[in-house]
Structure 1
Amino acid sequence: MGTDETAGPRSRTTLEGFLRARRDRVRPEEVGLAGTERRRVPGLRREEVAVLAGVSTDYYTRLEQGRERHPSAQVLDALARALLLDEEAAGHLRRLADARGGRPRGPRRSERVDPHLLRLLGRWADTPAFVLGGTLDLLALNGLARALYSGFASTGNLARMTFLDPAARVFHRDWDRAAASVVAELHKAAGTRPDDPRLGALVGELSLRSTEFRVLWSRHEVRGKGRGTKALHHAAVGDLEVHYQGFTVNGADAGGQQLIVYQAEPGSPSEEALALLGSLHTAYRADEGSERDTGAASGRA
């Protein structure tokens, strides 16, 4: 039986839900169909997608209702073209089809950051860097990344930080863009780990606690954390504009980890602001250490 998207978002992304959401977003004129007539649906009808993909309406209907479980690679490619999916969304479509036709997977092992990678993070003093887990957990941060995110109550999970911590609305100067990006990353994760209970719990929690998350989740956008630019604001150093780059972490225990590195344009005000933030963070750590030492000495006196 298919999922009921109108009853609220489910924690697990399904092929049928993805097809319906993406069908609703394609305008008829984008695929060469007349769009002047009165229509009951916002996007394409099922029969229109079927014609564009070269399959029968009955077959496509069974796909959307979850009654057809083994679409061929050729059919999936045709559907990707009909729904105007980019390469990343088309890959997500294929992963959802594979997951539905296969056996449930067992629980994943806990993610551990390789000690060599931790040492590398520690040596980057002038650029924020962190390791992001498969469900957007911040598994490890270097000193400057901790300083950059110091306004948040917790740096445990990027999605919770974005949707549940009020600090995110100030930290992200374009919060809407940041929020949409986080949800798109979670959707991609749902395609690669459909039976991950931690991911399901995270999506369920955010769906209950955030209206914005529920709306974005229902759109089924899919995107990984590759590269781009972020406009940020830090209480101590003001506005920042940083470029970010994501690198896949390989290894048996990596489990979809990414190394994320932020950089400011050389010679820019943002580079100066990051340097100042690093100095403030170092000074704070030094003061904190002195207070601990003084307290320990007083205790021994």
Structure 2
Amino acid sequence: MATPANAANSSADARRRADLREFLMNRRARVSPADAGLPDGGARRRTPGLRREEVAVLAGVGVSWYQWLEQGRDITVSGQVLDSVARVLKLDEPERRHLYVLAGLNPPLLRAAPGQQPASAGLTRLIESWMPFPAQLVDRYWNNVAFNDAVSLVFGYKQECRNCVVNFFLDPIYRGRHQGWEEDAAKVVAEYRAAAAEFPDDEGFRVIVDELREASPLFAELWARGDVSPAGTRMKYVEHPTVGQLVFESTQLKVPNRPDLIVSLHNPAPDTDTAAKLEWLSSPEARRGSLRQVAG
């Protein structure tokens, strides 16, 4: 006898399969033979768009298999085959992910659109508006795309600083200011491995890792451990040469419509005088080299 839970699962599965059938038929009807690179032949078609047989051939799958997929039958599907179908039906990235869900698979990671600019004007304004607090925009490899003046003032970043994890291990100024650097090194490497694991075939991560293995024995040792940790909010302590200790809550946020970019915000920790010190560091007085003590 079916339990209420089993009945609910069966009902949800039936709706998903019906939605899959409707979705594929709708998208197939939108693609003309000319759009798919096929000759029209001049014959009048009973239905608009591609035929099932044409989708199957163009996707490199069996005609019967594609028919069963579109009918919502209980068949085995793979991400590779769904990507081929998505390509033929000219699905955009949200539609591709939706196809995975309807087919009963976990949706893939979002992909950046080809030819996208490093950062939109809106994202750049977001980084700048965070002043006088540090904020930066990085790509999936933790390469710096943009950072505000506070990042330079607090962490000693220079414009030629191209990658955050490289800077962490190889820049003596950053290392000298970062309190608890040795303890945080293991966390940074574990977070970077987690980021790289999302893109196992991406050579960009391998280039950074190989460079640091060669240049930093500590990085090589930590990387060999195989530790993995997701990025999140964590405390960061900085000993600044002018204003003394600064304490931050550092958070990494992914940009929904730009999966290749991450916003890193360094917010002053509550119950500290960090915010007041940052206000002073970015003031004209501090830029003129005044040595006046910051209250608090």
**CA gap 1:144/1:151 in 2 versus in 1, 3 angstroms:** closer
**CA gap 1:163/1:207 in 2 versus in 1, 3 angstroms:** same
The partner residue of 2:132 within 126, 137, 149 is 126
| 2:196 aligned partner | 190
Would you say the 8 A contact 1:149–1:155 is kept in 2? Answer: no
| 1:240 aligned partner | 246
The partner residue of 1:168 within 153, 170, 174 is 174
The partner residue of 2:265 within 247, 261, 268 is 261
Q: Deviations over 1:216-251 (max 9, x none)?
A: 001111123210111111222221111112211122
Would you say the 8 A contact 2:155–2:174 is kept in 1? Answer: no
The partner residue of 1:207 within 208, 213, 221 is 213
Alignment of 1:216-235 (within 5 A): 216-235=222-241
| 1:26 aligned partner | none
Q: Distance in 2 between matches of 1:238 and 1:183?
A: 27
| 2:165 aligned partner | 159
Q: Which has the higher contact order (CA 8 A, sep 6+)?
A: 1
| 1:279 aligned partner | 283
**CA gap 1:281/1:226 in 2 versus in 1, 3 angstroms:** farther
| 1:48 aligned partner | none
Would you say the 8 A contact 1:173–1:233 is kept in 2? Answer: yes
**CA gap 1:242/1:249 in 2 versus in 1, 3 angstroms:** same
Would you say the 8 A contact 1:152–1:161 is kept in 2? Answer: no
TM-score, normalised to structure 1's length? 0.53
State the aligned residue count: 180
> In structure 2, the residue corresponding to 1:132 is in which secondary structure?
strand
Report the alpha carbon displacement of residue 150 of structure 1 after superposing the two structures with TM.
2.4
The partner residue of 1:148 within 120, 133, 154 is 154
Alignment of 1:42-53 (within 5 A): none
Report the alpha carbon displacement of residue 271 of structure 1 after superposing the two structures with TM.
2.0
Would you say the 8 A contact 1:172–1:178 is kept in 2? Answer: no
Would you say the 8 A contact 1:144–1:281 is kept in 2? Answer: no
Q: Unmatched 5+ residue regions in structure 1?
A: 1-104, 286-301
Matched to 1:257, the amino acid is: L
> In structure 2, the residue corresponding to 1:127 is in which secondary structure?
coil
Q: Distance in 1 between matches of 2:260 and 2:175?
A: 28
Matched to 2:167, the amino acid is: M
Q: What RMSD, in angstroms, separates the aligned Cα atoms of the two structures?
A: 3.0
**CA gap 1:111/1:237 in 2 versus in 1, 3 angstroms:** farther
**CA gap 1:135/1:110 in 2 versus in 1, 3 angstroms:** farther
Would you say the 8 A contact 2:151–2:157 is kept in 1? Answer: no
Q: Distance in 1 between matches of 2:285 and 2:226?
A: 39
Report the alpha carbon displacement of residue 283 of structure 1 after superposing the two structures with TM.
3.2
Q: Unmatched 5+ residue regions in structure 2?
A: 1-110, 290-296
Would you say the 8 A contact 2:131–2:150 is kept in 1? Answer: yes
Report the alpha carbon displacement of residue 146 of structure 1 after superposing the two structures with TM.
2.5
| 2:120 aligned partner | 114
Report the alpha carbon displacement of residue 124 of structure 1 after superposing the two structures with TM.
2.1
> In structure 2, the residue corresponding to 1:177 is in which secondary structure?
helix
Q: Distance in 2 between matches of 1:111 and 1:173?
A: 35
Q: Distance in 1 between matches of 2:226 and 2:285?
A: 39
Report the alpha carbon displacement of residue 181 of structure 1 after superposing the two structures with TM.
2.0
Matched to 2:150, the amino acid is: L
Would you say the 8 A contact 1:111–1:255 is kept in 2? Answer: no
Would you say the 8 A contact 1:168–1:175 is kept in 2? Answer: no
